[in-house]
Amino acid sequence: MRNLHETLRSEHHLKHFGRLQYGLFLKSIGLSLDGALAFWRAEFTKKMDPDKFDKQYAYHVRHSYGKEGKRANYTPYSCMKIIMSNTPTQGDHHGCPFRHWDRSHMTTMLQSHGLSSKDGQSVLEFVESSHYQLACQKYFEITHKLQSAPFSLEHPSQYFAESRRVRGGLDSMPKTEPGGMESGQGDASGVECEDESVAMDVTAEISVKDMEDFESF
């Protein structure tokens, strides 16, 4: 998600699957529809006529919040779905870095995020054995200075929530299940969910600034 966010900030555009992956993630961590519209509009209209954004892109933002079309409640993508589907091609920025980036790109990124070569190697060992979520979890442990992560990573919003908990000391935050939902609510299949009672908002009224402060991958 960090890659999608940084790309959006620098290029002021994301292709379809990037918008979908990142947009549903932002929704899952509590960004409101109004906040999402303002966020996407502010970036896209740096390079695009506002009228074009309103006609071609705002609909899809509202659609992902269940306000257009068949008004389905779309759930965010799980790690497994991101890893297993919609393989990114040239010009795409969605996907899971641990699964879809080559070793050279990954090594450069780990170094740029301050990992020592020993720590970087411990992450890459999981990548090379195709244990992508464990690689991400190892990255979490290193960057949060933990001996062992207190969760089994299944969802990007879970990563975000745990990062926020560790870095912000937010022990009172509701414990989240994979999919960014509180225990016992809805499914986390990464596809649409028709159950309007599903609680998507785990952190309540989070801002994009909050996300930038805590999200690391």
By C-beta, is 66 or 76 nearer to ligand SF4? Answer: 76
Name the minimum Å distance from CB 113 to ligand SF4: 12
Name the minimum Å distance from CB 57 to ligand SF4: 24
Residues 63-102 that bind ligand SF4 (CB under 6 A): 79, 82, 96-98
Longest dimension (CA), the chain: 51
- Please choose, out of 53-61, 109-117, 151-159, 199-207, the segment that lies near ligand SF4 by the rule CB under 6 A: 151-159
| Number of C-beta neighbours around residue 101 at 10 A | 17
Name the minimum Å distance from CB 186 to ligand SF4: 19
Q: Comparing C-alpha atoms, which of 2, 3, 65, 75 is closest to residue 37?
A: 65
By C-beta, is 98 or 214 nearer to ligand SF4? Answer: 98
Question: CB under 8 Å to 50, separation ≥6 — which residues?
Answer: 41
By residue count, the chain amounts to 217
Q: Which residue is associated with the tokens 């999919």?
A: 179
Residue 25 in the binding site for ligand SF4 (CB under 6 A):
no
Residue 136 in the binding site for ligand SF4 (CB under 6 A):
yes
Question: In Å, how far are 47, 128, 131, 207 from 166, measured between CA atoms?
Answer: 37, 28, 24, 18
| Interface positions with ligand SF4 (CB under 6 A) | 79, 82, 96-98, 132-133, 136, 153, 156, 159, 217
